[in-house]
Amino acid sequence: MECLILSTDLCFYSTWQELPHSFRTAMEDCLRVGLPTLQEVQIGRLDFPLSLLDKNANINLLSLSVTPQIPEYLDKYPGTTTTYPQLKSLSVQRNKYGSYRPFSDWASQRIGNLRSLEFNCVETGLDLLKGCSDTLEYLHIHFWSLRSTCEFSSCFRNLVWF
């Protein structure tokens, strides 16, 4: 398996614990052992425990719809990993409230060789950029303003009326 795509049909953010137990167990067992062929991971609107990826040394690309809560699972699986997968590509599309600083800390140990980065959260992006100034070759930034995002809400209400 080269690519793992985890997403749900739900429009709203889901926690890992909300997924069926049997699925979670199977996924955790696989990832905790490590999949040597796994290169790409895409996580949808899901609070995925990122520490499960740490045994998968060949992951190059990580794409997150939303930053998950971190730390996670540290008590359950206490730190057995000291070397982490080094990502070449990282995409962070949304910032979950209160999670950007822990996520930046988590990512800082894994982006020493980062070549491609995407973000639309300025705060998270600035933190991530600090860790890859010597290696970054491709950068995607989404600029949104606070005003504009408010306007998105009004646009949506207009669409409903139409």
Q: Residue 1: which residues within 8 A CB-CB, separation 6 or more?
A: 35, 37, 38
5 binds other proteins per the rule CB under 8 A: yes
- Backbone φ and ψ of 52, nearest 5°: -65, -20
* 18-26, 30-38, 72-80, 113-121 -> range binding other proteins (CB under 8 A): 113-121
**Element of type H or E holding 101:** helix 100-108
- Backbone φ and ψ of 107, nearest 5°: -70, -30
The site for other proteins, by CB under 8 A, has a size of: 59
Which residues between 73 and 92 bind other proteins (CB under 8 A)? 88-89, 91
Residue with tokens 């209400």: 157
101 binds other proteins per the rule CB under 8 A: no
Minimum separation from the CB atom of position 155 to other proteins (A) = 5
In angstroms, the CA 115 to CA 86 distance is 11
**83 versus 153: smaller Cβ distance to other proteins:** 153
In angstroms, the CA 102 to CA 71 distance is 7
Beta-bridge mates of residue 61 = 40, 89
**Element of type H or E holding 122:** helix 122-130
113 binds other proteins per the rule CB under 8 A: no
**52 versus 90: smaller Cβ distance to other proteins:** 90
34 binds other proteins per the rule CB under 8 A: no
Residues near other proteins, by CB under 8 A: 2-3, 5, 7, 11-12, 39-40, 42, 44-45, 60-61, 63, 65-66, 88-89, 91, 94-97, 100, 116, 118, 120-123, 125-126, 129, 133-153, 155-156, 158-160
